[in-house]
Amino acid sequence: MVFHKDPCGVFCILFTYALVAYADYVIIQHVILTTLTGSIWGAVHCVLFNTIIFGVLYSHARTVFSDPGIVPLPIMGLDFSDLHVQGKGHMDQSNGEDWTVCQRCETYRPPRAHHCKICRRCVRRMDHHCPWVNNCIGEMNQKYFIQFLFYTALLCIYALILNISGWMWMFGNARSSNADLLSRKSTVAHGIGLCIESILFGLFVIVMLFDQISSIFGDETGVEYTIHRSRKTRPPRPRKPRMALLREVFGYGPVYTWLMPCSAPGGTVRSLVPGSYDV
């Protein structure tokens, strides 16, 4: 299990839990129990909404605690004093398609691995370090990260639909008692809060989701995109079918397991050569 003691990451995790708990409270207390009491649809929406929340929390936990593909350190220390003397060794300046040396970890690392300053380790096919999951997104946990984005986007859209439907019902069934007016004010206030939360985070995760999918189809991680853009050159790579690129992230199991957070981790581990670390 991996967990980094980064204060920003820990805060973001707790903030995520608080946002999910608030959304659940508003939907159950102020939408379903207010507008759908006694209806079978109340129970249906309650079960569906909490099933999606389970998907969000489970995929989030797997992204947080999974090994993103950390490059193991050699059993015995390696001597890279030559590279230190020369500054950045030629291996470190390669185009990322060969084995390189990480001078911070003092180890060899496979193609497409990059060093994360927050995790202080090299990660295979590192995409970026995400504070919302307090972990790197790499070869082994990108699948869970995409699942987390997908379920969060679904939750935001569903919350927005339920919220707006609740308002429509409420204003279409106007009653005039004082208790009703008070309850309606509180429902509207929480509804506005949830609308802002859903739109803000919904748009954010949808943009992130498209970004992840386009980086998979482009066969270029977030880190590689930044490096290639700064160097204004991209190393040639054989073109692969989109399905093959998706399978590198989601694994080689059946397609219906791609959105199941309980399924096996993605990643091909093809960058690892058995025995490569016996140095």
Catalytic site positions: 130
- Minimum distance between the CB of residue 91 and Zn ion, rounded to whole angstroms? 13
Give the position of tokens 């999951």.
133
Q: Interface with Zn ion includes 116 (CB under 5 A)?
A: yes
Name the residue nearer to Zn ion (CB basis): 104 or 175.
Answer: 104
Q: Looking at 96-104, 199-207, 238-246, 257-265, which segment touches Zn ion (CB under 5 A)?
A: 96-104
DSSP string, 11-73: HHHHHHHHHHHHHHHIIIIIIIHHH-TT-HHHHHHHHHHHHHHHHHHHHHHHHHHS---BPPP
Q: Which of 163, 223, 191, 141 is nearest to 149 (CA)?
A: 141
Q: Interface with Zn ion includes 64 (CB under 5 A)?
A: no
Name the residue nearer to Zn ion (CB basis): 30 or 128.
Answer: 128
Q: Interface with Zn ion includes 133 (CB under 5 A)?
A: no
Total of chain residues touching Zn ion, rule CB under 5 A: 10
C-alpha 178/C-alpha 185 separation (Å) is 11
Q: Which two tokens stand for residue 46?
A: 């309650």
Q: Interface with Zn ion includes 83 (CB under 5 A)?
A: no
C-alpha 63/C-alpha 136 separation (Å) is 9
Name the residue nearer to Zn ion (CB basis): 4 or 247.
Answer: 4
- Minimum distance between the CB of residue 128 and Zn ion, rounded to whole angstroms? 8
- Minimum distance between the CB of residue 40 and Zn ion, rounded to whole angstroms? 46
- Minimum distance between the CB of residue 6 and Zn ion, rounded to whole angstroms? 9
| Binders of Zn ion in range 138-177 (CB under 5 A) | none
Q: Interface with Zn ion includes 223 (CB under 5 A)?
A: no
Strands (E) located in the chain: 100-102, 107-109, 113-116, 121-124, 128-130, 135-137
Amino acid at 78: L
Q: Interface with Zn ion includes 104 (CB under 5 A)?
A: yes
C-alpha 10/C-alpha 60 separation (Å) is 13
- Minimum distance between the CB of residue 14 and Zn ion, rounded to whole angstroms? 19
Which residue ranges make up the site for Zn ion (CB under 5 A)?
102, 104-105, 115-116, 118-119, 122, 129, 136
